Homo-oligomer: A and B are copies of this chain.
Amino acid sequence: MKNFIFQNPTKLVFGKGEIARLSELLPDNVNLMITYGGGSVTKNGVYDQVKSALKGRNYIEFWGIEPNPHVETLRKAIQRGKEHHINYLLAVGGGSVLDGTKLIAAGIVADEDAWDIVLSGAAEEQIPFASVMTVPATGSEMNGAAVITKAETQEKYGFGGDYPQFSILDPEVTYSLSDHQIACGLADAYTHVLEQYLTTPGQSRIMDRWAEGVLLSVMEIAPKIKTNSRDYDLMADYMLAATLALNDFIRMGITQDWATHQIGHELTALHGITHGHSLAIVMPGLLRVLKKQKHAKLLQYGERVFGIMDGSEEERVDKAIAMTEEFYRSLGLTTRLSEEGIGNKTIETIARRFNERNVAYGENRNVTGDVTREILKSCS
């Protein structure tokens, strides 16, 4: 096990009706700005619940943070926040609204342009922020990361910083999600775990077991949700799984991969593919290309998650990868670039970008632009 430092201070407030606690969770006398997405919260009742919970409080609202939040939009929110001396932010929406809010929280107290904060990789300072999370997927509600898109140049990068002060998760707000949103959310959560699990073998028995525990849970609930996305306990398991998949709990003392995310971000930036969907396309290809490096972990994954016990080691590894792709497809997602009309031009663009940035992703820092080309060809 590697040495590690773990600290996750976010207060998780989980369960039906908990949005009503908003006012007691927020400090008194803060200059509050509430951030929203495109308006789905006005249809599913969340906006009314928030307004009702904050009756008697003063705050301003910022609307219009889009999926894969654009720095161009967030600059306007930062400007607005500076003008109103905002010192506390509340994101109401999905991972994109919260990710965008994390950048607003940094931009309000910074002199530099918001995109420079993203490019620096880490926010030096942020005003406190919290969330009412409505889309289980990214884990942003209990972690210190955010991913921002620059629409002008079709670039998408992540940066790190503070954790939310609190996040309210009411599974009932997920009842209005579309099938595609749920499919992408489940794919996102599942892939977050694989990025932290399918790496170096033998680092921590408990981290392995906990990663497998999230995978097994997501696999078990996914088909059930398809026929009953208004089953409270089912949606509670889904919501909690998405949070626990990316809140640092399953990565103590272990190496991590994240190459699939880096490649997926490019597909989203260039073609607008939903984040979770982009991962479902890239992950199986990455596993096919890196199966020798990930051999031991793929064997363990096949046995413990899919129950693959028969055949040669290579056959079992291949089967584990095939079943991973099959799982993504079972969610209703495509898993090949050709199915999305993406061809060689995009593959070469991404390979060139990675080579120009001289990056090397993955747990062994060997996923270069050239290896990425190979991975994307395997996803064609």
Cross-interface CB contact of A12 among B2, B7, B206, B232, cutoff 8 Å: B7
- If the complex has contacts A14-B252, A252-B14, are A217 and B240 also in contact, measured as CB distance less than 8 A? no
Instruction: Give the Cβ gap from A309 to chain B, nearest Cβ, in Å.
Output: 13
Is the Cβ of A4 less than 8 Å from the Cβ of B11?
no
**Is A151 positioned at the interface, with any CB of B under 8 Å from its CB?**
no
CB-defined interface of A1-38 with B at 8 Å, one 1/0 digit per residue?
A: 11111111111111111100000000000000000000
**Contact indicator A8/B8 (Cβ below 8 Å):** yes
Contact with B along A190-215 (1 / 0, CB 8 A): 00000000000011111001101110
A142: nearest chain-B partner, CB-CB? B6
In the bound assembly, the distance between CA atoms of A209 and B193 in angstroms comes to 14
Tell me how many chains of this kind the complex includes.
Answer: 2
Query: For the complex, is A246 an interface residue (Cβ under 8 Å from B)?
Result: no
Nearest chain B residue, comparing its CB with the CB of A240: B206
Q: Is A376 an interface residue (CB 8 A)?
A: no
**Cβ 8 A contact of A202, one of B3, B12, B18, B233:** B233
- Docked complex: A114-155 residues within 8 A CB-CB of B: none
Distance of A137 from chain B, by nearest CB (Å): 16
CB distance from A14 to the nearest CB of B (A): 5
30 A-B residue pairings within 8 Å (CB atoms): A1-B171, A1-B232, A1-B233, A1-B237, A3-B16, A3-B18, A4-B14, A4-B15, A5-B11, A6-B11, A6-B14, A7-B9, A7-B10, A7-B12, A9-B9, A12-B252, A14-B253, A203-B233, A204-B237, A205-B217, A205-B220, A205-B237, A206-B237, A206-B240, A206-B244, A209-B210, A209-B214, A212-B213, A240-B253, A249-B249
Interface residues of A (CB under 8 A from B): 1-18, 171, 202-206, 209-210, 212-214, 216-217, 220-221, 232-233, 236-237, 240-241, 244, 249, 252-253
